[in-house]
């Protein structure tokens, strides 16, 4: 996700490597459990996966029971997570959220990539980040899973906001007066028979999207393609972007077993990115 500068040896094939104490001067105010937790984070950040608990405990100069407790606590606090195969640990999004305060530019493109990469891997679907530009949505980031892709959406694509889930999700979270002003002279061209072609019909769709907290499409924009989007907010709670996943229409149908996973994954990813951008949910 990002680099953390530490002084460590390169990890061995066993996933372990000794770590040096980065605190050169200890004082009476030191809290040993906190120091051990940070040493463990640096150890994992350096590529040590803690697959061999006894070896990792020896590298960190702590006992095995303490290591297990630290791993459990850091995982609960979302600082680390098990890799997809469950064979070791890696840094998680909680670390990125803390580090985001150092990103002076709040570069949403840069910080969104690991979030979207995780979303794509979790769902097996193509994941996108889009922002509103006039009456269009511009796709800034696209992350794809290791499967055959079916959607034609690419980074740099410009899509009509009223006809796409990312556009609908951003518009649905804007004041309605702003939306009406933006689209006052707009030509609501129909992409498919399901496209809203008037402000009134779009308004009803936006109301439903806002109430649901997600925007869904089952072949609304591309034949045979489904998609789902969630809104990304800034520190003021304003909608600044949307993320979406897209793939074969069948998994987005209301009766599809995959639909619940898609909804949960998109919500969590949108909330995670919003948190990174400074939004505090109430």
Together in a domain, 164 and 254: yes
Number of CB atoms found within 10 A of residue 210's CB: 18
Q: CATH no. for residue 82? A: 1.10.10.10
Helix residue ranges per DSSP H, 61-141 = 64-76, 93-99, 108-123
Predicted confidence at residue 148, as pLDDT, reads 64
Domain end: 49, 73, 103, which one?
103
Query: Which residues sit opposite 244 in a β-bridge?
Result: 128, 229
Question: Is 1 within the bounds of a domain?
Answer: no
Question: Is 228 within the bounds of a domain?
Answer: yes
Predicted confidence at residue 233, as pLDDT, reads 95
C-alpha angle 9-10-16 in degrees, rounded to nearest 5: 90
Is 223's pLDDT higher than 70? Answer: yes
Number of domains present in the structure of the chain: 2
Range of the domain at 76: 32-103
For the whole model, what pTM was predicted?
Answer: 0.63
Q: Which contacts of 5-14 are long-range, i.e. CB under 8 A and separated by 24 or more positions?
A: 6/42, 6/45, 6/46, 8/42, 8/43, 8/46, 8/48, 10/46, 10/47, 11/46, 11/47, 11/48, 11/49, 14/51, 14/52, 14/55
Question: Is 185 within the bounds of a domain?
Answer: yes
Domain end: 47, 80, 103, which one?
103
Question: Is 19 within the bounds of a domain?
Answer: no
pLDDT 10s digits, 50-60: 999 999 999 99
pLDDT 10s digits, 227-252: 999 999 998 899 999 999 999 989 99
Question: Is 233 within the bounds of a domain?
Answer: yes
Question: Is 78 within the bounds of a domain?
Answer: yes
Together in a domain, 52 and 67: yes
């Amino acid at each position: 996700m990002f680099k953390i500068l530490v002084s460590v040896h390169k990890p061995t094939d066993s996933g372990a490597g000794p770590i040096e104490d980065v605190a050169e001067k200890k004082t009476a105010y030191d809290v040993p459990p906190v120091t051990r937790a940070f040493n463990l984070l640096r150890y994992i950040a350096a590529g040590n996966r803690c697959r061999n608990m006894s070896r990792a405990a020896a590298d960190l100069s702590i006992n095995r029971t303490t290591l297990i407790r630290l791993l459990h606590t850091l995982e609960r606090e979302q600082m680390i997570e098990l890799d997809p195969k469950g064979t070791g640990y890696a840094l998680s999004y909680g670390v990125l959220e803390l580090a985001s305060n150092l990103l002076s530019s709040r570069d949403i493109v840069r910080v969104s990539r690991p979030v979207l990469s995780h979303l794509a891997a979790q769902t097996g679907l193509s994941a996108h980040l889009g922002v509103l530009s006039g009456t269009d949505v511009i796709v800034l980031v696209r992350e794809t899973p290791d499967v055959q892709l079916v959607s034609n959406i690419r980074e740099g694509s410009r899509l009509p906001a009223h006809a796409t889930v990312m556009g609908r999700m951003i518009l649905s979270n804007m004041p309605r007066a702003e939306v009406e002003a933006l689209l006052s002279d707009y030509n609501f061209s129909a992409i498919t028979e399901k496209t809203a072609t008037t402000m009134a019909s779009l308004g009803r769709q936006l109301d439903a999207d806002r109430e649901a907290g997600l925007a869904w499409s089952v072949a609304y924009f591309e034949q045979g393609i489904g998609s789902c989007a969630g809104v990304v907010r800034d520190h003021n709670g304003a909608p600044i972007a949307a993320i979406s996943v897209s793939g074969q229409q069948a998994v987005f149908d209301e009766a599809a077993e995959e639909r619940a996973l898609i909804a949960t994954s998109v919500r969590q990813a949108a909330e995670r990115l919003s948190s990174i951008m400074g939004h505090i949910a109430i």
